Amino acid sequence: MNKELVKVGELIDNLVSQDPKLRFESMSQIKLIAKTIGEKRTRKELIPFLTGFSGDEDTKTLLVLIKELSGFTELVGGNDYVHSLFPPLIKLTSHEDVSISEQVIETFQILCKDFSKEDFTKHIFPLFKQLSLKKWLSCNYTACGMIPLFYASLEKEEQEFVQKIFLRFCKNKSTLIRKKCCKILSQLILLFDQELIISFALPLLQEFHQDSQDSIRIQSVDNCVSCVQQFKDEQVIIQEIIPIFQTLSEDKSWRIRHKVSSSFCQFCSNLSEKIILEVLIGSYLDLLEDTEDEVRSIGCLKLFDFCELIKTNSKIITEKIIPKIESLSTDSCDFVKSSLAVSIVKISSLIGKEETLEKLLPHQLILLSEESAKISLPLIQNLHYVSSVVGIEPLMNEVLSSINRLSSDNDWRNRVATIKCIPSLAKQFGVESFNEHLLDISFSCFTDIVHSVREEATTMITELTKLFGVKWSNEFVIPKIIQLSNHQNHLFRQISIYTILKLAPIIGEDSISNNVIETIIQLSQDPVPNIRIYLVNTFIQLSKHINQDSLNQLKSILNKLLEDVDQDVQYFAKQTLKDIEKN
């Protein structure tokens, strides 16, 4: 206890240190001070002290203070005393750094999460009024950010007051305040009734989407989404909200067009298929032809989601969407084609076998043949979407060519990603086709120069053994392990041990006894001490999956290794033997 008091004393002293680093470190531990001095003294002494401290010029220290206060509810006596934490937060709202204001808003949200309507009316609403009347932008910014926290808890008269204040903020000359208002509006719309959306929110949305600042117009996209989520009158949506959304889709700023493209499906998900086809599909198709690569790319990424929204009209997909795919599949930008590759395979399930073979497959094959891994790999990873519709045969030649290319890609991460695809491909190919076309490629991964690739190859082989069975493993995998165990490169001999360990639970004791144990005996005599150690360290796990005869052979190996020339081998053999005897 004395040590703790000494530490707390040091923390308090360091809070007023001239060294900002010491102040920061102490501030990050103020909960310890509060726990030590108790709830009452925390309210009466520590919080007033921190209120005075909130004039510190170091932003990092102030941010940690605000964040720490968010966890003080129980330290001041529970929910009834949360308001005692407000003074330092209120003082910090006058700080000009917007990151301070954002952290204050976040802390208020955490502190007030269990507030009742009465609590909001008694403590938060007066605080909002206080901040909204101040001239500092930071205070107005904080007040604006707090509105969604308490608005729904207020009576109608108080809500109308908040609306007036919010309207005043929306007219503020400061871009920062208007941007915050535009962002908050999307949250408020979800709290408004239909009448208030029309009378209050839509006029603001009309202004915001025409604002001179890109950062404000881009927030209007979320406002449009909130409106269609909350509003049910399709006529008003068509006349008022969709035109705003379409205007934003043609905005001069590519970032805003990108935001629209990213949000398009979310916007449409609340609308009828009829409205999408009659009013909105043209805007989406235009975004797929945008001059900016980033806009086309996000549009392609969302392509399947959009097609799902109109899936009952598969004719529209084949007549309007697939012609766009035709040009996008030969786009000059790899990012666009990579995004298209993710979506194009999934569309097959919406248009059926005949249309896929005739109209979509040629473009899928074009992307499969791309040299770039970031284009062909997404297709391989999601190939089952196509093969489940048309079968694997029409795709096989390009798939094999792509797998061959990807398995020797210069980037080892792409090689790992390719190996991860092989079990899924094996299901689609079937055992005979797999053995003929993919078995050699799969085994070649065991001799890759990168350890992660070799390790992933072992995972792949265990998955294939689960799929094709022990008999297949005995016929094809075990001979490969034996071959690896004799390789001149000790790293490849090591991976053979790792593969045996991973396969043991699957192939069972008979297969180990008949096909693997001799290889283990041979590896125990490996000239490299590290290989012998690595082998010994697998024996505990192996012993769980073998019969008594094989276990006796493992013990015999360990007894011999007790007299190994290498002391480390002796040590691990002794420890392993002891552990096996225990079990």
Per-residue pLDDT, 581: 83
| Stronger pLDDT, 274 or 232, i.e. the higher one | 274
CB 458 within 8 A of CB 502: yes
Tokens of 132: 């909204």
Question: Half-sphere exposure of residue 76, counting CA atoms within 13 Å on the CB side?
Answer: 22
User: Would you call 153 helix, strand, or coil by DSSP?
Assistant: helix
* Domains of the chain with bracketed CATH: 483-583 (1.25.10.10)
Phi, psi of 172 (to 5 degrees): -60, 145
- Taking residue 364's Cβ as centre, other Cβ atoms within 10 Å add up to 26
Nearest-angstrom CA–CA distance, 241 and 234: 10
Q: How sure is the predictor about 379, in pLDDT bands with cuts at 50, 70 and 90?
A: very high
DSSP string, 507-549: HHHHHIIIIIHHHHHHHTT-SSHHHHHHHHTTHHHHGGGS-HH
* CA distances for 525 relative to 46, 530, 532, 566, angstroms: 69, 11, 7, 12
Per-residue pLDDT, 56: 59
Task: Determine what percent of the chain is predicted with pLDDT higher than 90.
Answer: 80
Tokens of 49: 């002290």
CB 406 within 8 A of CB 374: no
Query: What would the mean pLDDT of 200-205 be, rounded to a whole number?
Result: 94
CA–chain centroid gap for 475, Å, is 41
Q: How sure is the predictor about 419, in pLDDT bands with cuts at 50, 70 and 90?
A: very high
This prediction's pTM? 0.85
Amino acid, res. 95: H
Per-residue pLDDT, 2: 58
DSSP string, 329-360: TT-S-HHHHHHHHHHHHHHHHHHHHHHIIIII
Question: Half-sphere exposure of residue 258, counting CA atoms within 13 Å on the CB side?
Answer: 13
- Taking residue 241's Cβ as centre, other Cβ atoms within 10 Å add up to 23
Condensed to tens digits (0 to 9), the pLDDT of residues 535-546 reads: 999 999 998 898
Residue whose token pair is 């001999």: 493
Average pLDDT in the chain: 92
Per-residue pLDDT, 27: 86
Condensed to tens digits (0 to 9), the pLDDT of residues 226-249 reads: 999 988 888 889 999 999 999 999
